[in-house]
Amino acid sequence: MALSKDRIGKNAILLLLSDDSSEHLAMLEQLNWKSCTGKVGSMDEHKVVAAIETAAKKNGIINPDVYRESHALYHAIIEALNGITRGQVQLGSVLRTVGLSFAVLRGNPYENEQEGDWIAVSLYGTIGAPVKGFEHETIGLGINHI
Amino acid sequence: MALSKDRIGKNAILLLLSDDSSEHLAMLEQLNWKSCTGKVGSMDEHKVVAAIETAAKKNGIINPDVYRESHALYHAIIEALNGITRGQVQLGSVLRTVGLSFAVLRGNPYENEQEGDWIAVSLYGTIGAPVKGFEHETIGLGINHI
Amino acid sequence: MALSKDRIGKNAILLLLSDDSSEHLAMLEQLNWKSCTGKVGSMDEHKVVAAIETAAKKNGIINPDVYRESHALYHAIIEALNGITRGQVQLGSVLRTVGLSFAVLRGNPYENEQEGDWIAVSLYGTIGAPVKGFEHETIGLGINHI
Amino acid sequence: MALSKDRIGKNAILLLLSDDSSEHLAMLEQLNWKSCTGKVGSMDEHKVVAAIETAAKKNGIINPDVYRESHALYHAIIEALNGITRGQVQLGSVLRTVGLSFAVLRGNPYENEQEGDWIAVSLYGTIGAPVKGFEHETIGLGINHI
Amino acid sequence: MALSKDRIGKNAILLLLSDDSSEHLAMLEQLNWKSCTGKVGSMDEHKVVAAIETAAKKNGIINPDVYRESHALYHAIIEALNGITRGQVQLGSVLRTVGLSFAVLRGNPYENEQEGDWIAVSLYGTIGAPVKGFEHETIGLGINHI
Amino acid sequence: MALSKDRIGKNAILLLLSDDSSEHLAMLEQLNWKSCTGKVGSMDEHKVVAAIETAAKKNGIINPDVYRESHALYHAIIEALNGITRGQVQLGSVLRTVGLSFAVLRGNPYENEQEGDWIAVSLYGTIGAPVKGFEHETIGLGINHI
């Protein structure tokens, strides 16, 4: 299942679902796209947001000194969380918890160079009661221009 | 990227992202899981719901004579649409349209046999303005016990 | 199950759940409270809103010439619809339909006379697929000062 | 106001609104339905969820060792909370509090035996400012297959 | 930019956007309308609600002993917060913070005297990451009969 | 009430609230900011979206051939509609209608040149029943990087 130059969202999800992402990472480098991945488990939504923002800044996906880049990332994260939570963007306050992998990708998936960079945030993992095994899978994807 | 017996959501998504799903379908058959896939493009949310329901019934994923099976499927579809729409479950009424592939999977991803069957609805495609190319990718996943 | 002078919401619901509401109506009259009931079935949310507004005006529950009374009733209806729809206030657009009884009550359920009149809108019936029998019960209650 | 074999939601609500529920409980036993009731007051949504889950497990309404039963109950609770909160499933975070009675019912309200068990969660009480008397009634009902 | 007797919402917003509101306050007094303004910065939604409620009571905009007045104000505040948060009424739980000015106005903006008093809550300021300068403007307006 | 170089949102709103916007437009031109205004009345949300998109393209606020510009504008519009609708982004489907003025502004309100252009969409007008005079004011503001 190869990555595609015109599918930033699909690429972001395959990074999470692959058993071995080294091939994907090599291809992303060739495309000159930036990417990072990480994991976060929490009952606090803000900790999920913070984990992704921190990883994206530390890995140079976004410029931490320019607000427009943080703004683009933030909205992509919240959109991805909508897919994870499916209704209200709440975890512990409605007694549920998540264990998630995340990926952040940056590149231009369009043919037109004027489209510039876009950012994709993908989330995959489990959501459920704070009881081991009482959980099911969940996925989310947010895409924004940057 | 092989399917996993304990990952009904991941399997449902890989069915959509694979260039060739024949290997996946063979494995699902071996697991004795039911599945179907299809495509739908629309500005009407209810047409997306109807397309998935019709495919699931026609392919024997759910028993069309038992309400509890339709009820389980319906909520899984709406949850998947939350990931697609990220905010309000509306398409044409807020001037946007989708082109989606969908998969419906049924099986028991848990070790405990008492968990019975679960259903996963995955959606992947594009969302955007009703103008060719003015769109980006979107994904959604809904999982329910059946 | 008698009505209570201090429970406008409970009274509004009992009007819908009683097999015979004549006793309840007699008691409401004694309290000097205004009330009406009706039925509406639709896939259009706006038809549910319109049916309740029309009944409330025709039966003198609200003064049709004063906007503040319509405003109070409208928000009580929308709040009741939140209980009916549990997520997005949408019916046909997400392929579901309702068959509802409704009641509108007006009176002061508080001891303090300064609290003035309040309005309660109760809804009870079924929600589900547009297929006979593929539906379950649903209830909603909205309360507002008027 | 007698219970009805085909109205699991109505029954769940009447359990809360009755001054004396002994007659209702006798009839439920005769129907071979399981039920429990309780009370919870809180500014934290998760405490409302936890109180209902604990009561349902302790009273044998659901099997605490099977996730599908917890999953069915959880979604019924959240749906009922939508009726209580009418907009965002938030209490203390938007400076309001609830005092609620709850009932959980389990049985098959359909004629077709294949429909199996369904679960209803009903909530009735008050919502308002954290000031005595500055509150009005609120109701919620969630129904799910189990 | 003068205030208008029939524009309670516009007036409430101009109070926030004016460099010098003394002229506006004089005109409001002449109209016999009540008003107050204040500031609040927080990551907790409930602190925003509380700051506005406290100011409105302390300045005699609403009668603190009558629930209907608190109820009217509360819903106007929550509606205004919808404009501020645009999606979920959450701040710190999704890792964002606000710095807001607020105004509360009370008067009858309609020609018909029977319309009685209405209340407007306006909010204007910034929303963003808890990092100085990483924020943009936001506005909200809630209007209710009282 | 003069416009401010660092307040794109405030400027967008003042354009709508001013009796005479010629002074504002002169100042915007001096700042080298782009702007347009217009009016739209409808029960259909998608007509509001379309009216603003059309005006922004026709007046050269956004480049109609680049998707990222349409994408930025679209999300700013939907965010502004959240302030207008305060709950669900629905008009006619919940039996209400709007009469709105709108403004679209484009410029860099930040000191750092790297922040590039931002877009603000402001909406001001009335929302209410489809009955003349049965309406109150409403406002919305959406801001996005472009």
Residue B15 has pLDDT above 90, yes or no: yes
Question: What's the whole-number mean pLDDT along residues D31-51?
Answer: 97
Q: What is the mean pLDDT of residues C92-99?
A: 98
D113 in contact with B, Cβ within 8 Å: no
Q: Check CB contact of B79 with chain D, cutoff 8 Å.
A: no
Question: Comparing C-alpha atoms, which of D86, D76, D80 is closest to residue D101?
Answer: D80
Of the candidates E44, E4, E15, E6, the one whose C-alpha atom is nearest the C-alpha of residue E124 is: E15
**Hey, are the CB atoms on B93 and F53 less than 8 Å from each other?**
no
The beta-carbon neighbor of D66 closest among B67, B114, B144 is: B114
Identify the pLDDT of residue C1. Answer: 66
For F70-102, b/e burial (b = at least 16 CB within 10 A) is: bbbbbbbbbbbbbbbbbbbbbbbbbbbbbebeb
The predicted pLDDT at position F1 comes to 66
**CA pair distance F97, F103, nearest whole angstrom:** 19
pLDDT at residue B102 tops 90:
yes
Of D67, D110, D115, the CB nearest to B110: D67
Contact A116 F71 (CB under 8 A): no
Say whether pLDDT at C25 is over 90.
Answer: no
Q: What is the pLDDT of residues E40-94, one digit of tens each?
A: 999 999 999 999 999 999 999 999 999 999 999 999 999 999 999 999 999 999 9
- pLDDT-derived band at A47 (thresholds 50, 70, 90) equals very high
Q: Is C23 helix (H, G, I), strand (E, B) or coil?
A: helix
Task: Give the mean pLDDT of chain F.
Answer: 95
Which pLDDT does position E14 carry in this prediction?
A: 95
Distance from first CA to last CA of chain E, Å, rounded? 27
Q: How confident is the model at residue B16 (pLDDT cuts 50, 70, 90)?
A: very high
Mean pLDDT of F83-102: 97
Which residues of chain D are within 8 Å of residue E50 when distances are taken between CB atoms? 95
- pLDDT band, residue E19 (cuts 50/70/90): confident
Whether residue C3 has pLDDT greater than 90? no
Mean per-residue pLDDT of chain C: 95
**Per the CB < 8 Å rule, is A89 touching E92?**
no
Q: Is the pLDDT at A21 greater than 90, yes or no?
A: no
Q: How far apart are CA F73 and CA F56, in angstroms?
A: 9
- What is the token pair recorded at C122? 């109760």
Mean pLDDT for A8-29 is: 90
The predicted structure's pLDDT at residue F3? 78
Min Cα separation B71/chain F (Å) = 24
pLDDT of residue E1: 66
Confidence band (pLDDT; 50, 70, 90) for D99? Answer: very high
Query: Residue D32: exposed, middle, or buried by beta-carbon count in 10 A (0-12, 13-18, 19+)?
Result: exposed
Judge contact between D113 and C108, C-beta under 8 A.
Answer: no
Mean pLDDT along residues C20-47: 92
Neighbours of chain A (3+ CB pairs under 8 A): B, D, E, F
CA dist D121 and D88 (Å) reads 19
E45 touches chain D (CB under 8 A): yes
Domains and CATH numbers, chain B: 8-145 (3.40.1510.10)
* DSSP single-letter state for residue A116: -
Asked if B19 and A9 come within 8 Å (Cβ–Cβ), the reply is no
Partners of B131 on chain A (C-beta within 8 Å) are none
Cβ separation of E75 and C75 shorter than 8 Å?
yes
- Among chain C residues, CA nearest to E67: C115
CB-CB neighbours of A7 under 10 Å: 17
**What burial class does residue E83 get, using C-beta atoms within 10 Å of its C-beta: 0-12 exposed, 13-18 middle, 19+ buried?**
buried
- Give pTM, 2 decimals: 0.98
Average pLDDT for residues B12-38, to the nearest whole number? 90
pLDDT attached to residue E132: 93
At B1 the pLDDT is 65
What is residue A92's predicted lDDT score, i.e. its pLDDT? 97
Q: What is the spatial distance between Cα C79 and Cα A108, in angstroms, rounded to a whole number?
A: 44
Per-residue pLDDT band at B99 (split at 50, 70, 90): very high
Q: What is the pLDDT of residues E103-128, one digit of tens each?
A: 999 999 999 999 999 999 999 999 99
**D102 closest CA partner among D5, D17, D1, D4:** D17
Higher local confidence (pLDDT), A99 or F27: A99
Could you tell me which residue, D22 or A67, shows the higher pLDDT?
A67
Can you tell me the mean pLDDT for F37-61?
A: 98
Q: Band the pLDDT of B124: cuts 50, 70, 90.
A: very high
**pLDDT value for E33:** 95
Across the interface, whether the CB atoms of F139 and E86 are under 8 A apart is answered no
Residue A67 touches partner F, C-beta closer than 8 Å: yes
F contact test, residue of C42, C46, C47 with most F CBs within 10 A: C46
User: Taking all residues of chain D, what is their mean pLDDT, rounded to a whole number?
Assistant: 95
Q: Do A67 and F110 touch (CB under 8 A)?
A: yes
pLDDT of residue D27: 86
pLDDT, residue A1, reads 66
Give the pLDDT confidence score for residue D22 in this predicted structure.
83
The answer, for F93 touching chain C at a CB cutoff of 8 Å, is: yes
Are E12 and E122 spatial neighbours (Cβ–Cβ below 8 Å)? yes
Taking only the tens place, the pLDDT of each residue in A105-134 is 999 999 999 999 999 999 999 999 999 999
A89 CB within 8 Å of a chain E CB:
yes
Residue D95: both structure tokens together: 């400076």
Answer yes or no: are the C-beta atoms of E3 and E112 closer than 8 Å.
no
- The answer to whether the CB of D140 falls within 8 A of the CB of D123 is yes
Assess contact for E98 and E86: CB atoms under 8 A.
no
Mean pLDDT of the F99-126 span: 97
Cβ–Cβ under 8 Å, residues F52 and F140: no
Range C30-50 average pLDDT: 96
- Enter the tokens of residue F8: 């794109």
The whole-number pLDDT of residue D1 equals 65
What is the rounded average pLDDT for all residues in chain A?
A: 95
